[in-house]
Structure 1
Amino acid sequence: MMQQKRIYPKIIKGALYRYRSALSYLFLLLLFAAPFITLNGEQLVLLNVLERKFVFFGIIFWPQDFYLFVLALLSFIVFIVLFTTVFGRVFCGWICPQTIFLEMVYRKIENWIGGDHIKQQKLDNAPMSTKKFLKKAAKHGIFFGIAFLISNIFLAYIIGSAQLLRIITEPVHMHISGFIAIWIFAFVFYLVFSRVRELVCTVVCPYGRLQSVLLDDQSIVVAYDYQRGEPRGKLRRHEEKPLGDCIDCKLCVQVCPTGIDIRNGTQLECVNCTACIDACNMVMDKIDRPRQLIGFKSEAQIRDRTGFRLSRKIYVYGVLLVGLIGLLTTLLVGRSDVETTILRASGTLYQLREPDSVSNLYTAEMVNKTSRPVGFSIVALKPYMRIQYVQKPDTIGYGGSTKATFFVVMPTSEVKKYKTQIGFELRSDTTVLDRFKTTFIAPVND
């Protein structure tokens, strides 16, 4: 079995690295804080698959809103496709949690304990000693501690921060399943960041494989300008044959977290972390050559020396994304706080009543989508319609549902056809929570 080759990237703290660091710390702050921030009485972000409850910025989505979730997911996928088509895999290098934790947390701890990339390599190749054991133990102890913290935060997004705090503070025997889940996730995160590392980006993650389909020669990616850099060679005085700007120092390879040579062209393993840009710019400054030998460029810009142009498929993706976002926004704005479903009681048609009236029996189910209990009443839209309750609840609990069974009684003089559309409003005091319709069946007077 072939062993994974360990990569020891050199860290160069250029301008782009500093920008990445600032953005990463912002995302880390949001990641750790979001489960403990409340908005409208709800956790800021909650993905409770077990209870089929999803919360985004204080807005609750229940199973009845699954169509909105699907539409939002489709919009996100199209956005990622559009973004990748234009900018390549920048998401992976700048925003992806895997890269942020690996490069901005774990890698920095590794450098703090083991030294730079050369010292780390020497330490790993050296025979076991007290010094090596202590450094390895300290490093992996901190690694697992951070993985355990990430596991708790991850679980807070799934079961909620309140439930997580109960698991932490109450006796273990009261939350065996939650306790086991925390430790399982902790071991998984520890293995990912201590052993698997860049293989998540190059082998496990399907997004990198999609690049070959999404990218074209107009996509802006981290690229080496071969027109300007070739032929590469060491910088020597009185060189007879003119060389390109690349002096073949291989610093771009040394800083790459996935171990590729960007000078070989766009590769699936490239996460667009821009470390090679910082390294090359530093070298260009030293040899008094223009920067951006490696930079954000498209293949067409390098090959044809032309400016950036939008390809036809970018317009198609853009129009599709605008359409999906417009539809999603419309549905979200029109989404009611309480969703009502009304059905005629099974096995019934109509009931003739005295004097000169007819009735239909209905069952209405109301689902509360708000973060509070809701009091309600059902009001018929036509003044001549009368509601006679068989079962009359007046409150819907938080996150719950209730059913009301009632007769709708109508004068026979108002019956103009066999099937008549009738409407209702669900009201809480003077607020209209929902509007719904059904069909009223009655014999027609001749």
Structure 2
Amino acid sequence: MDSDHNLSTPVDDYFRSHLPNQTTGGNRQWLYPRATSGRFTRWRTVVAIGLLTALFAGPFVWVNGHPLFLFNVLERRFIFFGVTFWPQDFYLVAIGLITFIVFIALFTVVFGRVFCGWICPQTIFMEMVFRKIESWIEGDYTARKRLDAGPWTTEKIIKKGTKYSVFFLISFLISNTFLAYLIGRQEWLALITDGPGKHLGSLAAILLFTGVFYAVFAYLREIVCTTICPYGRLQSVLLDKNSLLVAYDYVRGEPRGKLKKDSVDRKGDCIDCKLCVQVCPTGIDIRNGTQMECINCTACIDACDDIMTKINRPLGLIRMDSQQGIETRQPFRITGRILAYTAVLASLVGLLVFLLVGRPALDVTVLRAPGQLFQREANNRISNLYSVEVINKTYGALPVRFVPQQADAVLRFVQPLNRVQPGELTKTLFFISLPEKAIRGNKTTLTIDVRVGDAVVDQIETTFLGPVNPE
């Protein structure tokens, strides 16, 4: 090779026009990733166990009598870490989503697509659950390949039937877990104890999602990461030469070639064993450079380090590094782009914390009753009818009073409202009456204090309709 440019040029550029799981004829090529072992694999296993435990325990963990997480779309009630959010808190959810997107952008700018390989539920379930079960039942990657290529024997039918039955049961478990997140622990337990005959709609939904999960993990697999998921394309925009990612050190590794004793030709450290390709769950060759299909799972790092140890060469031929770091041998540095993302993220987090701390305990909405003008009452008084909705965002019952600031205004409820139960939406109606002589226009602005005990927790402004007083 004559130059650094040539050193960085992939040996085979077929990957640029074809997906790694695609044959020359355009059909799908089934992947059989080889199992790995090593420091990154061990850490990924620890992270996966922790995340899987949190996922399955999440809907069943309650704090002070309330769920830690709940995503009840039907009732529009959401609980994050024990804090309840209602539709009136949509602005908080929107800011939270923007904050999360900025965090993902910052995380990708710094660490590439490591989220996909270490945290994404698709990868964790596929590599740490379904793939391991497949290996336990059918054998290692060569045994699985032979089994799929062979005829349908009794052994193959038993192994395939067992594997797909276990896959379906795990998918059913995942579906039930997500349902528990949506409707809550108590309602989910009611579905289980009452029997499926009383909840046919819920059973149909569970079976539908079970089928989706089963199809993803039994058939689609890496297609979710390489084709369906938009994050792979998003990272192409966010990455730059300073982003940390799983990278092949072509400066040290090329020209690659088989290791030969007493050879006078000095080659690079890569012996072209292709283990990095064999262990890749998306089937790419990391030596071709940064690719959208790479999920930064670090399996190729463990495989390559194992070979480097055996041939007595330094570790890290494939490692977490930046393109700039490989080219210049300079350590990772914080760039202005990273600082800008960090500043935006810190501002959004600060704003979100400020709004959460200042969020009122009660959310009150007062509206004039539709289709109503005003009513005349005894003693020359005019009244208007209003509807009120009160949401108690705390976990304790709150005594509530509505007090008009106008001294001559009288407020009376159609149905008494003295106490709002925790986490509930309460609706009722009330009348406000004013002396006719106090009305100076067809619309009068009224202010209502919402009190919990002696403290004013909110002030509501509304309009009062009445006849124009000629005096």
Q: TM-score, normalised by structure 1?
A: 0.89
CA distance in 2, matches of 1:313, 1:173: 57
Find the residue that maps to 1:379 and give its secondary structure.
strand
Are the aligned partners of 2:392 and 2:420 in contact in 1 as well (CA < 8 Å)? no
1:237 equivalent among 220, 241, 261: 261
CA distance in 1, matches of 2:99, 2:435: 46
Find the residue that maps to 2:351 and give its secondary structure.
helix
RMSD, aligned α-carbons: 3.0
1:241-320 to structure 2, matched below 5 A, reads 241-320=265-344
Aligned residue type for 1:425: D
Residues 98-107 or 136-145, more deviating: 136-145
What runs of 5+ residues in structure 2 fail to find an aligned partner?
A: 1-24
Find the residue that maps to 1:310 and give its secondary structure.
coil
Q: Residue 9 of structure 1 aligns with which residue?
A: 33
**Identity of counterpart residues, as a percentage?**
47
Residues 422/319 of structure 1: CA separation in 2 closer, same or farther (3 Å cut): farther
2:386 equivalent among 363, 368, 372: 363
Q: Give deviations 1:159-209, integer Å, cap 9, x for gaps.
A: 222222222221323111101111111111111111111111111111111
Q: Does 1:194 align with 2:218?
A: yes
CA distance in 2, matches of 1:143, 1:83: 32
Q: Residue 54 of structure 1 aligns with which residue?
A: 78
Residues 369/69 of structure 1: CA separation in 2 closer, same or farther (3 Å cut): farther
1:98-113 to structure 2, matched below 5 A, reads 98-113=122-137
Q: Residue 403 of structure 1 aligns with which residue?
A: 428
Are the aligned partners of 2:253 and 2:269 in contact in 1 as well (CA < 8 Å)? yes
Residues 350/313 of structure 1: CA separation in 2 closer, same or farther (3 Å cut): farther
Find the residue that maps to 2:70 and give its secondary structure.
strand
CA distance in 1, matches of 2:26, 2:287: 26
Aligned residue type for 1:337: A
CA distance in 2, matches of 1:395, 1:380: 18
Are the aligned partners of 1:388 and 1:409 in contact in 2 as well (CA < 8 Å)? no
Q: Give deviations 1:45-69, integer Å, cap 9, x for gaps.
A: 1111122111112211111111211
1:25-424 to structure 2, matched below 5 A, reads 25-343=49-367, 361=384, 363=386, 365-370=388-393, 371=395, 373-380=397-404, 384=407, 387-389=410-412, 391=414, 392-397=416-421, 398-407=423-432, 423-424=447-448
What runs of 5+ residues in structure 1 fail to find an aligned partner?
A: none
Residues 20-29 or 427-436, more deviating: 427-436
Aligned pair count?
442
CA distance in 1, matches of 2:378, 2:246: 79
Q: Give deviations 1:254-278, integer Å, cap 9, x for gaps.
A: 1101110000001011000000011
CA distance in 2, matches of 1:325, 1:417: 46
Q: TM-score, normalised by structure 2?
A: 0.85
Residues 67-76 or 310-319, more deviating: 310-319
Q: Give deviations 1:121-160, integer Å, cap 9, x for gaps.
A: 1111121211121111111111111111111111111222
Aligned residue type for 1:160: G
CA distance in 1, matches of 2:411, 2:141: 80
Find the residue that maps to 1:240 and give its secondary structure.
coil
Residues 114/438 of structure 1: CA separation in 2 closer, same or farther (3 Å cut): same
- Once the two structures are TM-superposed, the CA of residue 281 in structure 1 deviates from its matched residue by 1.0
